[in-house]
A and B are shown apart, each in its own frame.
Chain A
């Protein structure tokens, strides 16, 4: 029995396939402008018996793969994080356009969650935009932030205002490293604010694409005052959660066929 989980995120699509309790397949691809084509390509490369989808494209996916179950990212990340790190009681997830803090009970059930407001402030997309403003690749951006002696914390996390601020800091001669660290510090503060919405209990697991960023890991650890456990493949945790999901789709509350009378 091969169970697939697919996470159609705003920036990346992640696929995980399990066979008899073992992950046998794991792929990550850019979402691009045609997520269904990317899904098709990823799924053609492997075999599966059941599939569960999450992420922003989950309902679109289900329209084209009607056999798929659908669960929210919060549930998917919770299941995946507990599977990756069984002692997990809190998840911090920073993805492309959402960041979330999730508190779990001892059985891995979601007790409470907090998410960012609608805008992408403090998410992976924000980091990418700031790296671009500084003419850095992703890796250079992280290295620069790590090498900075001090940070110049951005006063706004609104991407547009932040970009203006970066431009004016550069114009004032502030070093790119200082700004790079400042961007990371701003995200760490934002993440701390987000975690205030839920009880933070160890172990704290950090997932999502942003968990690859070692500078961010250190800064968030300092901010929330708990060590962060980063799973081996933090970006695919929600897809893993989907591949582990066994529930009846009804119990997720999602009833796409139901017409509201």
Chain B
């Protein structure tokens, strides 16, 4: 076969971590005197950021390096994402934090909430009160109110304002981004898949910091390359490689070892049901409702984080993902000491096995590489059973 796939984003960042490209974008915005607000979580309503001219920056939380420093203050038996985030801040090693004028956080898990209390001295911080019983009638009211409060915080920090019209325009732009990314995901749903998890991450990381309009030219070119691959009969990995859906905690940086080990074991990752993957782009915000604040709130409350109870929406969405991406196996990745995802894993296992008859494996891991051997054994055995 003489076909050679070209990079989906053919720029000077080819082969580098996707964060480099996002950072370059932010630095350009910085030069243009734009305000930047750091975010830690998918629940941050980025439509509001864009409507107020604020650029969102996903803050560093996926490297093992800063954990040692973090553990001088935080307990060792804590989620690596929380420890890494904190280590980056106190060591002043996160350039995304450096360029941020303020930080937006959410009351998702206990570890994060208490860690946020320790970083208030570094940057202006706004903690959004995230309702955790999404089906209760007041959840939507309360979350809508939180988004209004965030707007007030931004106004106070940056002096910018927002009205319904601009918010509605930001919703349209955000939905455009979602639809574009969905078109990219379609190429992972192909059998065989013609796109790799790392290539999806290249685009998804750029999507974190850009508007739909800014991202569009990149996605257009990527889609052309993906179509070229499809027509050439290209496949990511072997054409008959078992297809793997990854679900669970957010995965990137040093935790992405799990993706690599799945591929080295002969599988191909086709569905990324986690917060750095496809999760944020599974729903659009309803347009033209007359209350764009509430429409945004409704979309974010549909994100199936394990901090929600009950989190039935996760299995409902999983059914749709399984139907679309047709995985042969499911891997639930739990970050060490993430009790919510770890406990929920039992429900997910039963659902995946009983409803879909798919092999399932839970991996509990952190950002170190000392369990690569154990994960490799489990992934090879899982792929063998497909």
Contact = CB atoms under 8 A, between A and B. Distances in A.
Interface of A: 56, 59, 71-75, 98, 110-113, 115, 117-118, 252-256, 258, 260-261
B32 interface: no
Contact of B384 (A72, A98, A118, A260): A72
Given A260-B260, A260-B263, A253 B377 contact: no
B248 interface: no
B266 A253 contact: yes
A75 B196 contact: no
Contacts of B380: 71-72, 74, 252-254
A110 B380 CA distance: 12
Given A260-B260, A261-B5, A115 B237 contact: no
A255 B377 contact: no
A92 B380 CA distance: 19
B263 A72 contact: no
Contacts of A258: 237-238
Contact of A110 (B242, B365, B378, B384): B384
Given A118-B364, A260-B260, A254 B381 contact: no
A255 B381 contact: no
Contacts of A72: 377, 380-381, 384
A74 B381 contact: yes
B377 A74 contact: yes
Give the top 6 A-B pairs by smallest Cβ distance, nearest first: A253-B266, A74-B381, A253-B383, A72-B380, A118-B371, A72-B381
Interface residues of B, number: 30
A260 B265 contact: no
A226 B294 CA distance: 58
A117 B334 CA distance: 11
Given A72-B380, A110-B384, A252-B383, 12 more contacts: A56-B377, A71-B380, A74-B381, A74-B384, A117-B364, A118-B364, A252-B384, A256-B264, A258-B237, A260-B196, A260-B264, A261-B5
B136 interface: no
A71 B266 CA distance: 12
A73 B377 contact: yes
B373 interface: yes
Interface string B368-386: 0001011111101101111
B267 interface: yes
Interface string B286-311: 00000000000000000000000000
A253 B364 contact: no
Contacts of B242: 253
Interface in B205-250: 236-238, 241-242
B45 interface: no
Most buried by B among A56, A110, A117: A117
A74 B377 CA distance: 8
A110 B260 contact: no
Nearest to B353: A112
A59 B364 CA distance: 22
A110 B385 contact: yes
Contacts of B385: 110-113
B266 A261 contact: no
Most buried by A among B236, B359, B365, B380: B380
Contacts of B267: 253
Contacts of A253: 241-242, 265-267, 380, 383-384, 386
Nearest to B360: A112
Most buried by A among B267, B374, B381: B381
Contacts of B359: 112
B374 A110 contact: no
B5 A118 contact: no
A254 B377 CA distance: 11
Contacts of B196: 260-261
B251 to A, nearest CB: 16
Nearest to A252: B384
A254 B374 contact: no
B365 A118 contact: yes
Nearest to A111: B385
Contacts of B373: 56
10 contacts: A71-B380, A74-B381, A115-B381, A118-B365, A118-B371, A252-B383, A253-B267, A253-B386, A254-B266, A261-B5
Interface in B151-207: 196, 198
Nearest to A57: B373
Interface string B58-86: 00000000000000000000000000000
A260 B236 CA distance: 8
Given A118-B371, A253-B266, A261-B196, A75 B384 contact: yes
A98 B374 contact: yes
Nearest to A255: B266
B266 A252 contact: yes
B377 A75 contact: no
A131 B87 CA distance: 39
A117 B236 CA distance: 30
Contacts of A252: 266, 380, 383-384
Interface in B25-71: none
A108 B61 CA distance: 44
B289 to A, nearest CB: 44
B237 A118 contact: no
A247 to B, nearest CB: 10
Nearest to A60: B373
Contact of B238 (A73, A255, A260): A255
A110 B196 CA distance: 28
B192 to A, nearest CB: 14
Nearest to A256: B264
Nearest to A100: B381
A72 B376 CA distance: 9
Contacts of A75: 381, 384
A113 B383 CA distance: 12
A118 B366 CA distance: 10
